[in-house]
Amino acid sequence: MALLEVENLHIAVSVGGVLQPVVRGISFTVDDNETLGIVGESGCGKSMTSLAIMGLLEGTPVRITDGSIRYDGTELLQLSSKQRRAIMGNRMAMIFQEPMTSLNPVYRIGDQIIESLRQHKSISKKAARARAIELLDLVRIPNPSERVDSFPHQMSGGQRQRVMIAMALSCDPKLLIADEPTTALDVTVQKEVLELMSDLQERTGTAIIIISHDLGVIAETCDKVSVMYRGKIVEAGTTENLFERLAHPYTRGLLNSIPVVDHDVEWLEAIPGRVPTLGEELSGCAFHPRCPIATGLCIAKTPGDTYIAGNHAVKCHYADQVAS
């Protein structure tokens, strides 16, 4: 049994009373000490998936319409909000995309870490403060015993993201979800934050889910990758297998659209067309209008999983050809 098992998850957003599917039946698992990367364009449903796992869809027009999310064997979707709160922050934690706004501007950062610590553990204020300093040191904030009393606006973006990581790690969670953790940071800081996360994983054995649109980030940090397109996982496998033989035209397109520094290229390749809108109905493979190798078969029939090399699964009729 894996630590987190997501099975056949369907999420829909209610637009004017009509439910429009956003996530259409995705399944994945994450185990202790494992890092899963979820990649895809904006609007493919990757962030919705993370919000669903953390239970942040409550009070929004977004609904989970089917499927199950099991944490350590417990079905999260059937827990009361009180039972859920006991798990959140304690065993599962999340890091957000915007380090500039994810800390409360009116509190000192130390107080925020202490607050999230004392939410789940009965420890004294003094012990919590000592632990907060320790955590800040762990995420390599220089001079932590002084910085613990800083306000968020006194810190840089990279430092704030590290404070967020410290907060997320305060109760030693077994699962950490990072939604675009480095998107708002510049490249050098990005690298530091990613290294920090993998260091911490080595030390604590936490399972991590990284959600990103950046294949480079994913390739560097993840053990497993799931590529999402229009609410479905179109390609999944271990990072090694997947990047060795990209077998879905969409993943190929994503990789080709990354500029390569040491090549002199006039035109950067982009995936033609646009991301399908929410209500758009597409027959067969949802990628067919943008796919360079689409045929009549792709319009007529929804592709199932084709397995290439072990657990490397691809939803494409022509996976074998693309891979070779």
Partner 1 sequence: MSVLKLMPSALAGRKLATIGFLWLVLVLLAAVFAGVIAPFDPLELDPVNRLAEPGWPHLFGTDHFGRDTFSRALYGARMTVIIGVGSVVVALLSGGLIGMLSAYFTKLGHFLMRGVDVLMAFPALLMALVLITLLERSVANTIIVIGIVYATTTARILYGMTLKLKNEVFVDAAVCSGASHRSILFRHILPNLISPLLVQASFIFAFAQLQAAALDFLGLGLPPEVPSWGNMLSEERIYLTRAPWLLLYPGLLIILSVFSMNLVGDALRDNIDPRFKDDISGV
Q: Which residues bind partner 1 (CB under 8 A)?
A: 54-56, 59, 85-90, 92-94, 96-98, 101-107, 115-116, 119-120, 164, 167-168, 170
Q: Which is nearer to partner 1, 16 or 59 (CB)?
A: 59
Nearer to partner 1, 128 or 233 (CB): 128
| Cβ closest to partner 1, residue 62 vs residue 88 | 88
Min separation Cβ 122 and partner 1, Å: 14
State the nearest-atom distance from the C-beta of 15 to partner 1, in Å. Answer: 17
Q: What are phi and psi of 204, to 5 degrees?
A: -110, -15
CB nearer to partner 1: give 114 or 246. Answer: 114
Half-sphere exposure of 210 (CA within 13 A, CB side): 29
At its nearest, how many Å lie between partner 1 and the CB of residue 295? 44
What is the spatial distance between Cα 281 and Cα 228, in angstroms, rounded to a whole number? 17
Longest Cα–Cα distance in the chain = 68
Query: Helix, strand, or coil here: 6?
Result: strand
Instruction: Closer to partner 1 by CB, 103 or 298: give it.
Output: 103
Query: How far is residue 201's CA from residue 57's CA, in Å, rounded to a whole number?
Result: 27
CB of 96 to partner 1, least distance (A): 5
Least distance to partner 1 from the beta carbon of 84, Å? 8
For residues 40 and 26, give the distance between their C-alpha atoms in angstroms, rounded to a whole number.
13
Residue 239 contacts by C-beta under 8 Å, 6 or more apart in sequence?
A: 37, 218, 219, 222, 223, 224, 225
Structure-token match 């490249």, residue found: 187
Q: Is 58 helix (H, G, I), strand (E, B) or coil?
A: coil
